[in-house]
Amino acid sequence: MKRWRVAVVGGGITGLSAAFYLQKEAKERSIPLDLVLVESEKRLGGKIRTEHRGGFIMEQGPDSFLARKPSAKQLAVDLGLEKELVHNRAGQAYILHQGELLPIPEGAVMGIPTRITPFALSKLFSSAGKFRAIRDLFLPRRQNPDDLSVGTFFRRRLGDEVVDHLIEPLLSGIYAGDIDRLSLLATFPQFARLEEEHRSLILGLKRTRAPRKKEAPSKGQFLTLKKGLSSLVEAVEKQLPEEAVIKGNPLTRLIKEGSRYLLVLESNRVIQADGVILALPFDRMKALLPAAPLPEHPDPVPATSVATVILGFDAKALPAAPDGTGFVVPRREDTTLTACTWTHKKWPHTVPPGKAMIRCYVGRFGDDAIVEEPDPTILSRVRSDLKRIQGLDASPEFSRITRWRRAMPQYTVGHVRWREQLLDTCREQLPGLFPAGSSYGGIGLPDCIDQGKQAVSDVLDYLGLDNRR
């Protein structure tokens, strides 16, 4: 009986998910399949990186995932980590507005008001801005279904003020991007559907949201693992055969030879594979396949660089702060910070008793030069912002700065169509090659896991091994 070999290139969460579920399918269905996972770094996990220090659990990359997107939770369950899952503590989030921390109006969903009274009383907007937003109740739906920018869509529905003061910091923070260039269909297609089905965003959300509970829930909408997200990475690695995992040996060339692929590694080792899941950024894919007719993005924008700045304190050293879990910063504010999480409040299990931890974010589209500054400069500017915003003047007991260069892909207008063209090109010109990951179908952990699982289904189908179809 023929044995098949599938190579997974990239050991971030997309590649790890693909490798885990590929092996799981092969075992459960007795598929004669060999797996190889190639990662250029000497560690797996990509942007997932947890550090433990004196009882502190520090996430230097993503710190959680949305509970309502099931794939990340399911991966934890499949790995036997269900009892390690923990929800965040829910709490008020704030917006920095003219140097002052103001609460996000109660009932706002990603910045869209669903309760009139809290919105009307908010100091985030002028009277004119509030009246302009209410026009959403009467505006007709768009007639043209084509893609457009997130900013264009929301400015038409709710006006500039609500967008600039509330929606922009909430939405662009997810992608570290410019909402006036980000694709609506690639980032927040649910709002396009909301307008199509209900015309008004405000009315649509009021009709489709679950009934509001009388008491505010203490359990938030995010999940992580008690010992950090690296637990997920370690659990996957333990499930994979040691000989199947190649670390610290980058792929340098990818050659199509007949119906197979040759993977040439930096060490000159050559691996033959019947199928390849390429869980790498698109620019790496282009470099590996210089002669391939890969489609160009209609609005190509380099991925944005960001950095996380983690500060540890004695809890008594912190000044009184608003009751909540953190704040986001609109682009118009004069700060280096783009957002700040009071981690000891949002994730109490991550700090020892009597301690506090603050996680700050710097860098966004068009303003990421700060990421290349030396550590003392970044730390000084972050501390200066915290002193001005919160009155926090205490010296941290420790700090950790982690740079993520060109880590945030920018899904500009036309991204969905471009992705479809890329997948079509691979099917026609590069059969057996399946790109997946944050460059394509979502940057959150569940989105990447979904892509990894889809790639497994696609490669098994390509090899004629998916008998479930």
pLDDT score for 454: 97
Q: Which residues pair with 254 in a beta bridge?
A: 263
* Average pLDDT of the residues in 119-123: 94
Concatenating the DSSP letter of every residue in 272-302 gives: EESEEEE-S-HHHHHHH-TTS-PPPPSS--P
Q: Tokens for 138?
A: 């009467």
Task: Indicate the burial class of 108 (C-beta count within 10 angstroms; 0-12, 13-18, 19 or more).
Answer: buried
469 pLDDT band (50/70/90 cuts)? very low
Quote the CA–CA distance of 72 and 70 in Å, as a whole number.
6
Quickly count: other Cβ atoms within 10 Å of residue 182's Cβ.
25
Higher pLDDT, 173 or 350: 350
* Average pLDDT of the residues in 266-274: 96
209 pLDDT band (50/70/90 cuts)? confident
pLDDT score for 155: 97
CATH architecture of 304-408: Alpha-Beta Complex (3.90)
Higher pLDDT, 365 or 413: 413
**Tens digits of residue pLDDT in 431-454:** 999 999 999 999 999 999 999 999
- For strands 245-247 and 219-225, give the pairing: unpaired
* Average pLDDT of the residues in 334-356: 96
pLDDT score for 122: 95
pLDDT score for 468: 55
pTM (2 decimals)? 0.95
Q: Where in the chain is the domain with CATH 3.50.50.60?
A: 4-42+230-300+412-462
* Domain 4-42+230-300+412-462, CATH homologous superfamily name and number: FAD/NAD(P)-binding domain (3.50.50.60)
Q: Where in the chain is the domain with CATH 1.10.3110.10?
A: 105-208
Q: Tell me which CATH code domain 105-208 carries.
A: 1.10.3110.10
pLDDT score for 211: 66
- Nearest-CA neighbor of 276 among 21, 419, 462, 409? 462
Beta strands in 226-368 (DSSP E): 245-247, 251-257, 260-265, 270-273, 275-278, 304-314, 326-328, 337-342, 355-362
pLDDT score for 271: 96
* Average pLDDT of the residues in 297-308: 93
Q: Where in the chain is the domain with CATH 3.90.660.20?
A: 304-408
Quickly count: other Cβ atoms within 10 Å of residue 52's Cβ.
12
Q: What percent of the chain has pLDDT over 90?
A: 88
Report the amino acid identity of residue 248.
G
* Average pLDDT of the residues in 284-290: 96
CB-CB contact of 161 with 125 (8 Å): yes
* Average pLDDT of the residues in 135-159: 95
pLDDT score for 320: 83
